[in-house]
Amino acid sequence: MESGEADTIAQEIMAALDDLFRKERVARLQVSALEERQYALAATFGMVRDMEADSTIEEALVGFGFEYYTVDDDAELWISDEHGLMIFLSFTAPDRRYYSYRIVAFDIIGEEEEESG
Protein backbone atom coordinates (compact mmCIF):
# COMPACT_ATOMS: atom_id res chain seq x y z
CA MET A 1 0.00 0.00 0.00
CA GLU A 2 1.28 3.46 -0.86
CA SER A 3 2.06 6.00 1.85
CA GLY A 4 -0.79 8.30 0.80
CA GLU A 5 -3.31 5.48 1.06
CA ALA A 6 -2.00 4.49 4.50
CA ASP A 7 -2.24 8.15 5.59
CA THR A 8 -5.85 8.33 4.42
CA ILE A 9 -6.77 5.12 6.25
CA ALA A 10 -4.92 6.33 9.37
CA GLN A 11 -6.89 9.61 9.27
CA GLU A 12 -10.18 7.69 8.99
CA ILE A 13 -9.19 5.44 11.88
CA MET A 14 -8.14 8.41 14.03
CA ALA A 15 -11.47 10.13 13.38
CA ALA A 16 -13.39 6.95 14.26
CA LEU A 17 -11.35 6.31 17.43
CA ASP A 18 -11.54 9.96 18.54
CA ASP A 19 -15.32 9.84 18.16
CA LEU A 20 -15.60 6.54 20.07
CA PHE A 21 -13.36 7.74 22.91
CA ARG A 22 -15.27 11.04 23.12
CA LYS A 23 -18.53 9.10 23.47
CA GLU A 24 -16.92 6.92 26.12
CA ARG A 25 -15.84 9.99 28.13
CA VAL A 26 -19.40 11.39 27.96
CA ALA A 27 -20.78 8.06 29.19
CA ARG A 28 -18.27 8.03 32.08
CA LEU A 29 -19.42 11.52 33.09
CA GLN A 30 -23.01 10.27 33.06
CA VAL A 31 -22.01 7.33 35.25
CA SER A 32 -20.26 9.68 37.68
CA ALA A 33 -23.33 11.88 37.94
CA LEU A 34 -25.57 8.84 38.45
CA GLU A 35 -23.27 7.34 41.13
CA GLU A 36 -24.17 10.10 43.56
CA ARG A 37 -27.86 9.18 43.37
CA GLN A 38 -28.00 5.46 42.58
CA TYR A 39 -24.70 3.61 42.92
CA ALA A 40 -25.98 0.14 41.89
CA LEU A 41 -27.62 1.48 38.74
CA ALA A 42 -24.50 3.50 37.91
CA ALA A 43 -22.26 0.43 38.29
CA THR A 44 -24.49 -1.59 35.96
CA PHE A 45 -24.69 1.23 33.43
CA GLY A 46 -20.89 1.61 33.56
CA MET A 47 -20.30 -2.09 32.91
CA VAL A 48 -22.71 -2.11 29.97
CA ARG A 49 -21.10 1.03 28.51
CA ASP A 50 -17.61 -0.48 28.81
CA MET A 51 -18.71 -3.65 27.01
CA GLU A 52 -20.43 -1.61 24.29
CA ALA A 53 -17.36 0.60 23.83
CA ASP A 54 -15.02 -2.40 23.57
CA SER A 55 -17.30 -4.10 21.05
CA THR A 56 -17.71 -0.90 18.99
CA ILE A 57 -13.93 -0.38 18.83
CA GLU A 58 -13.42 -4.02 17.86
CA GLU A 59 -16.06 -3.80 15.11
CA ALA A 60 -14.51 -0.60 13.74
CA LEU A 61 -10.97 -2.00 13.61
CA VAL A 62 -12.05 -5.35 12.16
CA GLY A 63 -14.01 -3.37 9.57
CA PHE A 64 -10.77 -1.63 8.56
CA GLY A 65 -9.10 -5.04 8.18
CA PHE A 66 -7.13 -5.18 11.45
CA GLU A 67 -6.39 -8.29 13.51
CA TYR A 68 -6.11 -8.31 17.30
CA TYR A 69 -2.94 -9.37 19.15
CA THR A 70 -2.41 -9.57 22.90
CA VAL A 71 0.58 -7.58 24.15
CA ASP A 72 0.10 -7.56 27.92
CA ASP A 73 -2.48 -6.54 30.51
CA ASP A 74 -1.87 -2.87 29.81
CA ALA A 75 -2.15 -2.71 26.00
CA GLU A 76 -4.01 -4.05 23.01
CA LEU A 77 -2.39 -4.30 19.60
CA TRP A 78 -4.22 -4.31 16.27
CA ILE A 79 -2.25 -4.93 13.05
CA SER A 80 -3.17 -4.59 9.39
CA ASP A 81 -0.55 -5.95 6.99
CA GLU A 82 -2.72 -4.67 4.14
CA HIS A 83 -2.55 -1.06 5.34
CA GLY A 84 0.89 -1.30 6.96
CA LEU A 85 -0.49 0.06 10.22
CA MET A 86 -0.38 -0.98 13.87
CA ILE A 87 -2.68 0.48 16.50
CA PHE A 88 -1.84 0.29 20.20
CA LEU A 89 -4.96 0.86 22.29
CA SER A 90 -5.09 2.02 25.89
CA PHE A 91 -1.51 1.83 27.03
CA THR A 92 0.89 3.49 29.42
CA ALA A 93 4.18 4.61 27.87
CA PRO A 94 7.51 4.08 29.67
CA ASP A 95 7.34 7.69 30.86
CA ARG A 96 4.05 6.71 32.65
CA ARG A 97 1.84 8.86 30.39
CA TYR A 98 -1.43 7.17 29.44
CA TYR A 99 -2.57 7.09 25.80
CA SER A 100 -5.93 6.07 24.37
CA TYR A 101 -4.27 4.97 21.17
CA ARG A 102 -1.17 5.29 19.01
CA ILE A 103 -1.03 4.50 15.29
CA VAL A 104 2.27 3.37 13.79
CA ALA A 105 3.00 2.84 10.09
CA PHE A 106 5.35 0.07 9.00
CA ASP A 107 6.76 -1.52 5.86
CA ILE A 108 7.13 -5.25 5.34
CA ILE A 109 10.71 -5.62 4.18
CA GLY A 110 10.80 -9.37 3.81
CA GLU A 111 8.69 -12.47 4.21
CA GLU A 112 9.65 -16.07 4.09
CA GLU A 113 7.00 -18.51 2.97
CA GLU A 114 6.90 -21.85 4.77
CA GLU A 115 7.09 -24.91 2.60
CA SER A 116 4.94 -27.80 3.62
CA GLY A 117 6.06 -31.18 2.70
More confident residue, 111 or 7: 7
- Whether 63 is in a domain gets the answer yes
How many Å apart are CA 96 and CA 59, to the nearest integer?
Answer: 29
For residue 12, the SS3 value is helix
Residue 30: which domain range?
3-105
Comparing C-alpha atoms, which of 1, 69, 85 is closest to residue 77? 69
Alpha-carbon span 45 to 49, nearest angstrom: 6
The per-residue pLDDT for range 20-34, each reduced to its tens digit, is: 888 888 877 877 777
Is the pLDDT higher at 2 or at 70? Answer: 70
Residue 110 lies in a domain: no
pTM: 0.69
DSSP string, 21-70: HHHHHHHHHHHHHHHTT-HHHHHHHHHHHHHHHHHHHHHHHHHTT-EEEE
> Does residue 36 form part of some domain?
yes
Q: How many domains does the chain have?
A: 1
